[in-house]
């Protein structure tokens, strides 16, 4: 049984100008200890997908359809209080912005102690402190800085602290929403190494939400490419590396710099993502697709072109 | 040297000395604090430092100008104005303190809850608060005080009602911002209870603004309390009060007895000024965007 099983999940925002389907019929599953990359442009629904897994979509958003199963048990049918216990304890969420994700009036110790005591009320202060110290050591932050406040840390350190808070309760799944977007490349590499190290040490599964396909290719076992709320390609990352099938994925691949091909030109995908209130007919990528054909005006199914390699494109049949 | 770390006072004292390093805003706060603290001390020590009984009547010195025996003169019934000056702030300070407490205790929780919950609760409480806010403050305070009658508590209530909306508005607008911030979202995503989010994440981040509103409220409450006493809605006439002395002094001013109205008037101005300066200074110091 997979750790997480998401089936035809659909999330809509009921905006004044109409219903926006930010996540459309998304299905995937995740094994224990696996790293899944969710790649897409801003507005492709990847963050909404992440938030819907902990049922924390901001209003006016709502999960309209589908199911989410954690260890075979439905997450969507949980009561509010049971859901609260899942958050943090079983599924942790690491937010995008390291600058505002820690409360400015609480020091690091308070952040850790509060989290630990909320979920493990029997823990003594000394035990909780010990655990926090261990985590800080793993993160490469001196435990002496426990009494420092968020503004006394750099962005990269804050991001590490947030990850530490994420893994503090040893959850089964950590969802990291653009954990490195606000950081420079060197810190970015360190954070991603740290995530992998934490995965190896604590054995939790990881969903890495990013707009950077190269990061996902490098760090993830499996990749979901999202476009306008839909999965357009889903495969093992080495399969995507070797043969990206969807024209959108191919476009993303061509826009990654490659030092081995010195005179390679980077190609941008022409156009911009569609307005979710006014989607193109049929395949949502067809107005920007170099291979578009009249048949693309029809609704495209997600096809399994190879074992475990799914593509939403008529070039591969259907 | 051992560091003082325990207790509120232990934390406040190092905080006070740091005010000198905060530039003009720090000094403004210090001047305000000095004014307020010295007036409060003067009022507390009044029984020991007053040369005369503030309500004792000396019929041989009626409305007499400042002299060696009566340094600030006497009023129309022959009471010593210096002693009345020492005693006369007590009611005002009590009323101001109590009204600020009332405001914080009502405005803060309502603002927090309604703004965090949103929806109809928020709409209803905003409507009520805005309708109170629409009244001219002093007129409303007079109306309530006239209905409730004299007394420290009644004055505090009438002033409190007028200022609750100020707290409500400030708290509400802050909560609307803070509840959208990532750290609140992150706390929720980590399984924090609602009361934890409200009490430990939102409240501490709202408090600086509440402190600023409270000091401004103090100044306003002093003036309103003086106003209520001036028109006879304050405490019993037998209790010395700057507000009553203003009333008496106004009548005497025409006959040339300037000393009866001048000194209590100055005291009221200084006290209100002190609180205003603290408020101005703190609002600059506590606003992180204005730092450096």
**In this structure, what CATH number is given to the domain that contains residue B134?**
1.10.3720.10
Contacts of A105 in chain B (CB under 8 A): 204-205
**A266 Cβ neighbours under 8 A, 6+ residues apart:** A254, A255, A256, A257
* A250 vs B6 pLDDT, higher one: A250
Residue B175 has pLDDT above 80, yes or no: yes
> Are residue A182 and residue A300 in the same domain, yes or no?
yes
Q: For B189, which residue in chain A has the nearest alpha carbon?
A: A87
Which candidate from B188, B191, B201 shows the least CB-CB separation from A103? Answer: B201
* Within-domain flag for A97: no
* Within-domain flag for B280: yes
CB atoms within 10 A of CB A126: 8
Number of domains in chain A: 2
Q: Any idea what the CATH number is for the domain that residue A10 is in?
A: 3.40.50.300
> Are residue A257 and residue A137 in the same domain, yes or no?
no
Structure tokens at B82: 């210096």
* Within-domain flag for A98: no
Query: Smallest CA–CA separation between B275 and chain A, in Å?
Result: 26
Question: DSSP character for B201?
Answer: I
State the first-to-last Cα distance of chain A, in angstroms, to the nearest integer: 30
* Within-domain flag for B2: no
Number of domains in chain B: 1
- Please state, in angstroms and rounded to a whole number, the distance separating the CA atoms of residues A88 and B118: 25
- Please state, in angstroms and rounded to a whole number, the distance separating the CA atoms of residues A168 and B106: 38
* Within-domain flag for B283: yes
| A37 and A199 Cβ atoms separated by less than 8 Å | no
Q: Do A56 and B188 touch (CB under 8 A)?
A: yes
* Within-domain flag for B52: no
If pLDDT is split at 50, 70 and 90, which confidence band does B237 have? confident
* Within-domain flag for A95: no
Contacts of B192 in chain A (CB under 8 A): 84, 88, 114-115, 118
Residue B2 has pLDDT above 50, yes or no: no
Residue B211 forms contact with A (CB below 8 Å): no
Q: For B118, which residue in chain A has the nearest alpha carbon?
A: A59
Question: What pLDDT is stored for residue B14 in this prediction?
Answer: 67
> Are residue A180 and residue A48 in the same domain, yes or no?
yes
State the first-to-last Cα distance of chain B, in angstroms, to the nearest integer: 30
* Interface probe, candidates A79, A101, A103, A179, chain B, greatest B C-beta count within 10 A: A103
- Please state, in angstroms and rounded to a whole number, the distance separating the CA atoms of residues B267 and B84: 11
Taking residues A172-193, what's their average pLDDT? 85
> Are residue A40 and residue A177 in the same domain, yes or no?
yes
Question: What pLDDT is stored for residue B12 in this prediction?
Answer: 65
* Within-domain flag for A51: yes
* Within-domain flag for A60: yes
> Are residue A76 and residue A113 in the same domain, yes or no?
no
* Within-domain flag for B222: yes
> Are residue A66 and residue A158 in the same domain, yes or no?
no
Find the domain containing B211 and state its range: 71-290
* Interface probe, candidates B116, B189, B201, chain A, greatest A C-beta count within 10 A: B189
Query: Smallest CA–CA separation between B183 and chain A, in Å?
Result: 4
Query: Smallest CA–CA separation between A24 and chain B, in Å?
Result: 23
> Are residue A114 and residue A82 in the same domain, yes or no?
no
Range list of β-strands (E), B229-292: none
Query: Smallest CA–CA separation between B11 and chain A, in Å?
Result: 15
Query: Smallest CA–CA separation between A72 and chain B, in Å?
Result: 21
Question: What pLDDT is stored for residue A22 in this prediction?
Answer: 92
* A99 vs A70 pLDDT, higher one: A70
Region class of A266: left (phi > 0), else alpha (psi between -120 and 50), else beta: beta
* Within-domain flag for B39: no
Residue B241 has pLDDT above 70, yes or no: yes
* Within-domain flag for B191: yes
Q: For B200, which residue in chain A has the nearest alpha carbon?
A: A106
> Are residue A12 and residue A36 in the same domain, yes or no?
yes
| A225 and A249 Cβ atoms separated by less than 8 Å | yes
- Please state, in angstroms and rounded to a whole number, the distance separating the CA atoms of residues A57 and B188: 11
If pLDDT is split at 50, 70 and 90, which confidence band does B5 have? very low
| A118 and A61 Cβ atoms separated by less than 8 Å | no
* Within-domain flag for B50: no
Question: What pLDDT is stored for residue B9 in this prediction?
Answer: 60
* Within-domain flag for A110: yes
Find the domain containing A285 and state its range: 4-90+172-188+199-316
If pLDDT is split at 50, 70 and 90, which confidence band does B137 have? confident
Question: DSSP character for B200?
Answer: I
Residue B76 forms contact with A (CB below 8 Å): no
Question: What pLDDT is stored for residue A229 in this prediction?
Answer: 92
Average pLDDT, chain A: 89
Residue percentage of chain B with pLDDT more than 90: 36
Structure tokens at B141: 């305070």
* Within-domain flag for A193: no
Taking residues A18-29, what's their average pLDDT? 91
> Are residue A40 and residue A178 in the same domain, yes or no?
yes
Residue percentage of chain A with pLDDT more than 70: 99
Q: In angstroms, how far is CA A289 from the centroid of its own chain?
A: 26
Task: Say how many CA atoms lie within 13 Å of A223 toward its Cβ.
Answer: 30
> Are residue A255 and residue A180 in the same domain, yes or no?
yes
Q: For the segment A279-312, what is each residue's pLDDT rounded down to a tens digit?
A: 888 899 989 999 988 989 988 889 999 999 999 9
pTM over 0.90: no
Q: For A150, which residue in chain B has the nearest alpha carbon?
A: B183
* Within-domain flag for A96: no
> Are residue A246 and residue A258 in the same domain, yes or no?
yes
* B161 vs B291 pLDDT, higher one: B161
> Are residue A68 and residue A210 in the same domain, yes or no?
yes
Taking residues B185-203, what's their average pLDDT? 89
- Please state, in angstroms and rounded to a whole number, the distance separating the CA atoms of residues A230 and B251: 83
If pLDDT is split at 50, 70 and 90, which confidence band does B1 have? very low
CB atoms within 10 A of CB A125: 10
Residue percentage of chain B with pLDDT more than 70: 93
Residue A126 has pLDDT above 60, yes or no: yes
Residue B116 forms contact with A (CB below 8 Å): no
Query: Smallest CA–CA separation between A49 and chain B, in Å?
Result: 14
The contact set of A with B (CB < 8 A) is: 54, 56, 84-89, 92-93, 95-97, 100-106, 114-115, 118-119, 162, 165
- Please state, in angstroms and rounded to a whole number, the distance separating the CA atoms of residues B31 and B274: 7
């Amino acid at each position: 049984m997979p750790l997480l099983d998401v089936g035809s999940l659909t999330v809509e925002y009921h905006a004044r100008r109409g219903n926006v389907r930010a996540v459309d019929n998304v299905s995937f599953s995740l094994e224990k200890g696996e790293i899944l990359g969710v790649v897409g442009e801003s507005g492709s629904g990847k963050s909404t997908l992440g938030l819907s897994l902990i049922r924390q979509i901001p209003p006016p958003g709502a999960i309209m359809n589908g199911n989410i199963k954690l260890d075979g048990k439905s997450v969507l049918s949980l009561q509010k209080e049971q859901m609260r216990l899942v958050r943090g304890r079983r599924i942790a969420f690491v937010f995008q912005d390291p600058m505002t994700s820690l409360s400015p009036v609480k020091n690091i110790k308070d952040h850790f102690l509060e989290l630990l005591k909320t979920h493990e009320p029997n823990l003594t202060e000394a035990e909780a402190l010990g655990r926090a110290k261990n985590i800080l050591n793993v993160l490469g932050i001196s435990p002496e800085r426990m009494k420092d406040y968020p503004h006394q840390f750099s962005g990269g350190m804050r991001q590490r602290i947030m990850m530490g808070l994420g893994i503090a309760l040893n959850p089964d799944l950590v969802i990291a929403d653009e954990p490195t977007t606000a950081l420079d490349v060197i810190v970015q590499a360190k954070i991603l190494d740290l995530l992998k190290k934490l995965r190896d040490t604590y054995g939790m599964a990881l969903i890495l939400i990013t707009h950077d396909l190269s990061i996902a290719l490098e760090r993830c076992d499996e990749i979901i490419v999202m476009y306008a709320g839909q999965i357009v390609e889903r495969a093992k990352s080495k399969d995507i590396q070797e043969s990206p099938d969807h024209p959108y994925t191919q476009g993303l691949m061509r826009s990654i710099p490659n030092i081995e091909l010195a005179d390679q030109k980077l190609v941008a995908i022409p156009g911009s993502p569609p307005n979710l209130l006014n989607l193109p007919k049929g395949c949502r990528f067809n107005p920007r697709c170099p291979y578009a054909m009249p048949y693309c005006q029809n609704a495209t199914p997600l096809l399994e072109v190879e074992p475990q390699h799914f593509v939403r494109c008529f070039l591969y049949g259907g | 040297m051992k560091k003082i770390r325990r207790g509120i006072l232990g934390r406040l004292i190092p905080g006070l000395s740091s005010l000198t390093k905060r530039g003009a805003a720090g000094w403004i706060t210090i001047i305000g604090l000095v004014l307020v603290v010295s007036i409060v001390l003067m009022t507390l020590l009044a029984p020991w430092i007053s040369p005369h009984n503030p309500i004792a009547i000396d019929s041989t010195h009626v409305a007499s100008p400042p002299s060696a025996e009566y340094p600030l003169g006497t009023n129309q019934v022959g009471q010593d104005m210096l002693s009345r000056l020492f005693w006369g702030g007590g009611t005002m300070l009590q009323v101001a303190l109590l009204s600020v407490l009332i405001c914080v205790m009502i405005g803060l929780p309502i603002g927090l809850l309604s703004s965090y919950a949103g929806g109809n609760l928020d709409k209803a409480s905003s409507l009520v608060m805005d309708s109170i806010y629409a009244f001219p403050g002093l007129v409303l305070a007079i109306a309530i005080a006239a209905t409730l009658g004299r007394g420290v508590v009644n004055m505090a209530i009438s002033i409190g009602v007028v200022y609750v909306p100020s707290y409500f508005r400030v708290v509400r607008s802050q909560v609307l911002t803070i509840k959208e911030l990532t750290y609140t979202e992150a706390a929720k995503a980590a399984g924090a209870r609602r009361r934890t989010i409200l009490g430990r994440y939102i409240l501490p981040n709202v408090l600086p603004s509440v402190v600023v509103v409270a000091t401004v409220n103090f100044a306003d409450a002093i003036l309103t309390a003086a106003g209520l006493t001036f028109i006879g809605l304050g405490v019993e006439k037998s209790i010395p009060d700057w507000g009553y002395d203003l009333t008496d002094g106004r009548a005497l001013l025409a006959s040339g007895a300037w000393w009866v109205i001048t000194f209590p008037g100055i005291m009221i101005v200084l006290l209100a000024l002190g609180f205003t300066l603290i408020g101005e200074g703190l609002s600059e110091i506590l606003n992180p965007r204005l730092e450096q």
